[in-house]
Amino acid sequence: MSQASFAVLPLTPERWSDLEDLFGPQGPCYGCWCNHFRMPQRLRVPLLGEGARRLFEERVKQGPPPGVLAYAGDKAVGWLQIGPRADIPEWNNPRRASTPLPDAPAEDERNWAASCFFVRKGFRGKGVTGALLDGAIDFARASGARLIEAAAMENQAKRSAEGLYVGPESIFRRAGFVEVARQKPGRPLLRLMI
């Protein structure tokens, strides 16, 4: 399948059941349900599993969409969490590879982050990640973002699939992102001005 084979749509409340089907009953990443960067670990860990699912469902219901889904036909096959940095405060922590730079503060709602990918087993390595990013860029542009940043994983061939939830550097580079900082080894901070 090529990237063009996938439709990419914002995660709105009517698509919640598609995300649930994609993530499965336990949710990805040990039951995180994309709350990892939304709250401190001490608050997040007790919620893992059903509590995290309910919290993220409520976030989706409140809107705006916290990311995009990739579809093969009517089946969701991928997810990318993307939105204003302010929505994911832990991503802005000063000890992270994703720490904001002075020219793109987290408080500015136009400064967005592409923080977490998830691709359905059986669809990995088939262009879903690239399709998600392309669709997310369109979504960010339509939503008024001025830039998107990502703290990608370098040397993806040597990393586990699980560690690639932040996305491989190569996929961002192909989409036109450029390195603006390297705050941790192997984790470039990449930016796309839109």
Compute the average pLDDT of residues 1-11. 83
* Domains located in the chain, CATH noted: 3-11+68-193 (3.40.630.30)
Q: What is the pLDDT of residues 38-50, one digit of tens each?
A: 888 888 877 888 8
Q: What is the pLDDT of residues 121-162, one digit of tens each?
A: 999 999 999 999 999 999 999 999 999 999 999 865 555 555
The pLDDT of residue 39 is: 82
Compute the average pLDDT of residues 71-78. 97
Dist CA 46 CA 98 (whole Å): 25
Instruction: Say how many Å lie between the first and final Cα of the chain, rounded.
Output: 27
Q: Would you say 107 and 87 are in contact if contact means Cβ atoms under 8 Å apart?
A: no
Backbone φ and ψ of 96, nearest 5°? -100, 160
Helical residues (DSSP H) of 2-127, grouped into ranges:
16-23, 28-31, 41-44, 50-62
User: In a 3-state reduction of DSSP, which class is residue 168?
Assistant: strand
Q: What is the pTM of this model?
A: 0.92
Q: Would you say 49 and 26 are in contact if contact means Cβ atoms under 8 Å apart?
A: yes
